[in-house]
Structure 1
Amino acid sequence: MISAPKTVLCIHDLPGFGRASLSVILPVLSALGVQPVALPTAVLSTHTGGLGTPARLSNPGYGPAALAHYKRLGIRFDCIYSGYLADAGQAHLVQQALELWPDALAIVDPVLGDHGKLYSGLSDDMIPAMRGLCARAGLILPNPTEAALLLGDVPSASPSLEIVAQQAARLTTLCPQVVVTGVPAGQRSIACVGAQRDGGGFVSRSSFIPRLYHGTGDIFGAVVAGKMMQGNVTEAAVQTAAAFVIECIRATPEGADERLGVWLERALPLLNSDREGPLSPVRRGYPE
């Protein structure tokens, strides 16, 4: 008997142009053999990172109505993966999903800020809203700025690996598993710092490529969710996700507009061909 694919409810924004959020999360999960179900928190003409003011579709009644429909259909979600929220009130939408499917693995990317500051357009009330969601999650994926904001610390634009490791351990009082992503680890490497409430933890280092593309965090989180649905432990899922993001960057020609995201289309087949464990971080050739 063939087992049905695992199903992930993805609560993120949907940009029409620009590789970010649901536009990259859905193909990544599908390539990993997982069925994604999109629940947009906002529908935008583009993502919000440097492409002007996007057109926005807003219907606050859609999300709760969609969840009720899924429940009536008897859909079983194995994972609920949330990210960008348009406002603090949308935290209630994620909470509603977690209440309807309490057995699902809850992964929260607490999208709050980066480079030592809160994202423009987000108000301070988003911090306690995200903190409340993190308290109900099984795994959270903050960057160093978000880790500090969740803890009530003053965020730094360039925190040390040691400080981040301490913050990750402190965050386990909020959520049992924490992975702080995008941590500076010297001039040539970047790290993910994992911590668990039982005292376990890890540091996973990757090569640092000095190019900043929108949407790479969404790709990372989607690979983590997909790999965990395949049965991988958190550390292995993180290693594969970091290696795949590197491949996505390498697949993108230098000089390409960083606002538009990585050229995911070139790298996506690697997720299907990774049969023997984490993607190798060695350079692969891509057609010009």
Structure 2
Amino acid sequence: MPKRVLLITDMAGQTKVAMTAMIPILSHMGYSLFNLPTALVSNNFAYGDYALLDTTEYMRKSISVWQKLDFRFDAVGTGIVISHEQLEIVNEYCKFLKTKGITIFSDPVMADNGELYNGISESIVSYMRELIGVADYIVPNYTEACFLAGIPYQSGSVSSDEMRKLIDSLRKYTSGTIVVTSAFVDNKKQVCCYDPKSDEYFNLPYDEIPVSFSGTGDIFCSVFMGHILKGEPVKQSIEIAMTAVGKMVDRFKTKEDKLEGLPVESCLDLL
């Protein structure tokens, strides 16, 4: 039987981000996908205008029903949450699932380029720290890592020592594997990691393609999750995810509307 993966994040109607990017990838990789949307959103927040349906009560009722029916999952991936109440619901559910031996992945989606996303308040950061404390793997970008660690964001390059201090600050909140994406370290774009199983720190540099698509973090996280759940090592799983994102971006780098995200279904051959 294929492993069962539950995604807890928002569902966009028009843009290939969050669930609409993750479900095709993980399904293609052979997993059975389930979802618990934190919000139904008309389109990417980055467009400036959007419609949003808060699904907090639906989430609460769904989890209650699932527990009564004893539904089982092998892994859970969490993404964007839109309120403190939702974070408490997701945090408690993940704690419950963790007692069942289920692997928890957390992408603490809340910020980029030194700023919190539109509609995300700074008070959510403390709740997100609780959620990453439950996770076996966390995959923040550099900005999110700074918010979670309580360390000032730097717009330029940081040193390897500074990145290690950032990761060590995150280790105060989680015992899981830490994967920091979109980091600019020693004047090179890198993915920076701490693997607690091997007690190893490592940085993996990559050549950045000078375009910016929405949803690439969701794609990276999906591919990374998929390979970890296949039992592959952390470093190898990161390298495969980096390569996949790079190939997808390169294929569609001339696409006009980059806020719409990558046409994921047209990229599955690259996985």
Query: Could you state the TM-score of these two structures normalised by the residue count of structure 1?
Result: 0.87
Distance 1:161 1:43 in 2: 40
3-state secondary structure, aligned to 2:120:
coil
Gap change, CA 1:17 and 1:186, over 3 Å in 2: farther
Which among 57, 68, 71 is matched to residue 72 of structure 1? 68
Is 1:107 aligned with 2:102? Answer: no
Query: Residue 286 of structure 1 corresponds to which residue in structure 2?
Result: none
Greater shift after overlay, 192-201 or 129-138? 192-201
The one-letter code sitting in structure 1 at the alignment partner of 2:200 is G
**How far apart are 1:73 and its partner, in Å?**
3.1
Deviations 1:144-192 (A, max 9, x none): 11111111111122341422232113312221211100112467x5211
Is 1:14 aligned with 2:11? Answer: yes
Is the Cα–Cα contact under 8 Å of residues 12 and 83 in structure 1 kept in the other structure?
A: yes
Query: Residue 43 of structure 1 corresponds to which residue in structure 2?
Result: 40
Distance 2:186 2:210 in 1: 12
Query: Residue 277 of structure 1 corresponds to which residue in structure 2?
Result: none
Is the Cα–Cα contact under 8 Å of residues 211 and 253 in structure 2 kept in the other structure?
A: no
Greater shift after overlay, 214-223 or 68-77? 68-77
Gap change, CA 1:255 and 1:161, over 3 Å in 2: farther
Distance 1:160 1:121 in 2: 28
Distance 1:173 1:94 in 2: 21
Is 1:94 aligned with 2:93? Answer: no
**How far apart are 1:253 and its partner, in Å?**
4.1
* Two-structure CA RMSD over aligned residues (Å): 1.7
Is 1:174 aligned with 2:173? Answer: yes
Which among 24, 36, 41 is matched to residue 21 of structure 2? 24
**How far apart are 1:88 and its partner, in Å?**
2.2
Distance 1:261 1:161 in 2: 31
Is the Cα–Cα contact under 8 Å of residues 145 and 166 in structure 2 kept in the other structure?
A: yes
Is the Cα–Cα contact under 8 Å of residues 13 and 22 in structure 1 kept in the other structure?
A: yes
**How far apart are 1:76 and its partner, in Å?**
1.7
Percent identical: 27
Is the Cα–Cα contact under 8 Å of residues 144 and 164 in structure 1 kept in the other structure?
A: no
Q: Tell me, which stretches of 5 or more residues in structure 1 are unaligned? A: 272-288
Is the Cα–Cα contact under 8 Å of residues 114 and 153 in structure 2 kept in the other structure?
A: yes
Distance 1:269 1:71 in 2: 37
Distance 2:266 2:125 in 1: 36
Distance 2:185 2:123 in 1: 31
Greater shift after overlay, 99-108 or 16-25? 99-108
Is the Cα–Cα contact under 8 Å of residues 41 and 51 in structure 2 kept in the other structure?
A: yes
Is the Cα–Cα contact under 8 Å of residues 227 and 237 in structure 2 kept in the other structure?
A: yes
Query: Residue 275 of structure 1 corresponds to which residue in structure 2?
Result: none
Gap change, CA 1:213 and 1:229, over 3 Å in 2: same
Distance 1:121 1:269 in 2: 35
3-state secondary structure, aligned to 2:92:
helix
Is the Cα–Cα contact under 8 Å of residues 11 and 81 in structure 1 kept in the other structure?
A: yes
Query: Residue 218 of structure 1 corresponds to which residue in structure 2?
Result: 218
Matches within 5 A, 1:249-268: 249-268=249-268
Gap change, CA 1:85 and 1:232, over 3 Å in 2: same
3-state secondary structure, aligned to 1:217:
helix
Equivalences, count: 266
The one-letter code sitting in structure 2 at the alignment partner of 1:213 is F
**How far apart are 1:269 and its partner, in Å?**
2.0
Deviations 1:237-270 (A, max 9, x none): 1111111111110121415211111232221122
Query: Residue 124 of structure 1 corresponds to which residue in structure 2?
Result: 122
Distance 1:23 1:68 in 2: 25
More helix by share: 2
**How far apart are 1:62 and its partner, in Å?**
0.6
Distance 1:151 1:100 in 2: 25
Distance 1:158 1:128 in 2: 26
